[in-house]
Amino acid sequence: MAETRHVRFWNRIAERYAARPVKDEAAYEAMLADAAGRLRATDRVLEIGCGSGSTAIRLAPRVTEWIATDFSSEMLRIARAKPAPENLRFVLADAQDAFAGGPFDAICAFQVLHLVGDLPATLARIHTHLKPGGLMISKTWCFADMGFKLRSLFFVLGALRVFPPVNKLTKVALRETIRDAGFEMVDEKVFGRNPAGPYIVARKPDRS
């Protein structure tokens, strides 16, 4: 289960996080369009780390069922208060225990893989709970690839406990860890101006 301090952090900032506008609306819309184009109407989709639910609400109408999970009860309270399609269900669960009801046709992990405590274990669980040929659709911040000023800023914010603990990933290490979990890389893009936040689509091989 998620550490208590992490849950407390996200519960504490949930209202501020949900009220914050999207910084790059065009990049966000382009990412949503790409993800939507990879989903089929018959798909059952799991999302881990859904936050306040905005992405789930936008993408759920594209598929048969969307299960959106998060370990923050406050984030889910905000998500459940929003108008949402009937095929969308919000579930309280962390990234280690979110996989009830699988296997899934796709698993989405937007802005969450840099936050999990054990990335290889999380990717292994995602792989296990995907159907053969299923997709993992992700966007991940690779903090080790950011410039010195940004890395210094996040270090200070983390020390002040106004930013969560994160994995100091590089894009190279992220790709290798995804491949080591048994995935085939399908696509990698950058939406927006920051190249340290790759959007990666990977597939569980049909032979698995």
Beta-bridge partner residues of 20: none
Task: Find out whether 10 and 2 touch, Cβ atoms under 8 Å.
Answer: no
Task: Find out whether 201 and 186 touch, Cβ atoms under 8 Å.
Answer: yes
> CA-CA distances (angstroms) from residue 175 to 41, 122, 154?
29, 14, 23
In the chain, % of residues over pLDDT 70: 88
Q: pLDDT digits over 58-67, tens only?
A: 999 999 999 9
Those residues whose C-beta lies under 8 Å from the C-beta of residue 90, and which sit 6 or more positions away, are 50, 53, 56, 68, 69, 70, 76, 79, 80
The band of 106, judged by pLDDT with boundaries at 50, 70 and 90, is very high
Strand ordering across the sheet containing 88-92: 88-92, 65-70, 44-48, 104-110, 130-139, 199-203, 184-189
Q: What was the pLDDT predicted at 156?
A: 44
Q: pLDDT digits over 182-201, tens only?
A: 999 999 999 998 889 999 99
Q: pLDDT digits over 140-192, tens only?
A: 999 788 764 554 544 544 544 555 666 788 999 999 999 999 999 999 999 99
Beta-bridge partner residues of 45: 66, 106
- CA torsion 121-125-127-131 (nearest 10°) is 180
In the chain, % of residues over pLDDT 90: 68
- Domain boundaries, given as residue ranges, for the chain: 4-203
pLDDT at 38 exceeding the cut of 90: yes
Q: What is the mean pLDDT of residues 109-125?
A: 92
Q: What was the pLDDT predicted at 9?
A: 83
* Predicted TM-score (pTM) of this structure: 0.90
Mean pLDDT lowest among 8-17, 74-83, 99-108, 123-132: 8-17
- Residue 177 has a CB neighbour count (10 Å cut-off) of 18
Distance in Å from the first CA to the final CA of the chain: 28
pLDDT at 120 exceeding the cut of 70: yes
| Check whether domain 4-203 has CATH 1.10.10.60, yes or no | no
Helix residue ranges per DSSP H, 1-140 = 4-19, 25-37, 54-59, 73-80, 119-128
CA atoms within 13 A on the CB side of 136: 30
pLDDT at 1 exceeding the cut of 70: no
